[in-house]
Amino acid sequence: MRRVWHLDLTGRHGDQARIGTWNPLGAERGQDPERVQQAVVDACASVLGWSDATHPRALTVLTKCVEALVEVNRQAVAEQHPERQTTLLQVPTLLGDALFRAWVIGSLPAETARW
C-alpha cells in the first residue's frame, strides 16, 4: 500500500493533468443543504473569530449568502449540470455584482428571495 502521494501541481502534464478540488458548497453527492450551510458558516465564523455576540450582522449576511449559493448548487445538480455550481469565492460577487445577484435571487424560492 502506498502511504505517500506525490501531487504535481506544476502543469507539466498539460491537458492530462488532474487538479484536486473541493467545493464546500457542493451538492453533487446529495448533501443536505441545511447541514452544508451550517457547516460552512460555522467553519468561517470559527476561522474569523465571529460569534453572535461580536459579529451578528456579518454572520447573518454570510448565512444568507451561503444559503442562496447552496440552493443554486442544489438546482444545478438537479438539472444535471454539476459543473455550474457556485463556490465560496462567489460570496463577494453575490454582494457586489447586481447582475449576478439578480440571477441568484431569480433562482431562489420566493420566501428565500424576499429576504
Q: What is the pLDDT of residues 53-74, one digit of tens each?
A: 999 999 999 999 999 999 999 9
- What residue spans define the domains of the chain? 14-114
Do the beta carbons of residue 26 and residue 86 sit within 8 Å? no
| Helix (H), strand (E), coil (C) string for the chain | CCCCCCCCCCCCCHHHCCCCCCCCCCCCCCCCHHHHHHHHHHHHHHHHCCCCCCCHHHHHHHHHHHHHHHHHHHHHHHCCCHHHCCCHHHHHHHHHCHHHHHHHHHHCCHHHHHC
Residue 91 cell numbers, joined:
460570496
Q: How confident is the model at residue 25 (pLDDT cuts 50, 70, 90)?
A: very high
Q: What is the pLDDT of residues 32-46, one digit of tens each?
A: 999 999 999 999 999
- What is d(CA 79, CA 75) in angstroms, rounded to the nearest whole number? 6
The pLDDT of residue 95: 97
pTM score over 0.75? yes
Averaged pLDDT score across all residues of the chain: 89
Cell 450582522 belongs to residue: 57
The pLDDT of residue 4: 77
